[in-house]
Amino acid sequence: MVKSADADTLSRKDLTGPALRTFFRIADAWGLKEAEQMKLLGLDSRSTFQTWKRGAVAAISRDALERISYVMGIYKGLQMLVPRTADEWVRKPNEAPLFAGRPAIERMASGNVADLYVVRQYIDTQCSGQTRVCG
């Protein structure tokens, strides 16, 4: 019988590679700087970031997986909402009260996971107003 902590570790190990590869593809599509990527991932250490980027990590934290999940949801929602300009959206000034005229990336890269959640919720709300579902 596998203990729940062991099951969590196995699950994180299984998710780590695909999650990081997907995150770095999104980061490339959005043209994110290294510092922005580190903030989105919740990292302070450049050496840890470089290790993750090389894929030389067995399992990332649940926090990092949660952050990547939000980034993936934002990416997917944008692809549905504004397919032609989805990748540029994160850098464009946004007049929605949530962003106060600033680009979404500034809110997303605050370092707080709650800001990723809020941006994801914003995108999901925008999607629900569309005739198609963002997912």
Q: Is the dihedral of CA 102, 105, 107, 110 positive or negative?
A: negative
**Does any domain span residue 18?**
yes
At 43 the three-state DSSP class reads coil
* pLDDT for the residue numbered 9: 58
| Host domain of residue 93 | 13-131
- Evaluate whether residue 94 is within a structural domain: yes
8 assigned to some structural domain: no
- Are 79 and 127 in contact by the 8 Å Cβ rule? The answer is no
Dihedral in degrees, nearest 10, Cα atoms 90, 20, 39, 117? 60
Taking the whole predicted model, whether its pTM rises above 0.75 is answered as: yes
Residue 7 lies in a domain: no
CA separation for the pair 125, 135 (Å, rounded): 11
| pLDDT average per 10 residues of sequence, the chain (135 residues) | 54 93 98 98 97 94 96 96 95 94 96 96 86 46
Q: Answer yes or no: is 81 within a domain.
A: yes
What backbone phi and psi angles, to 5 degrees, belong to 93? -55, 140
Residue 3 is assigned to a structural domain of this protein:
no
Residue 48: inside a domain: yes
Structural domains counted in the chain: 1
Domain assignment of residue 112, yes or no: yes
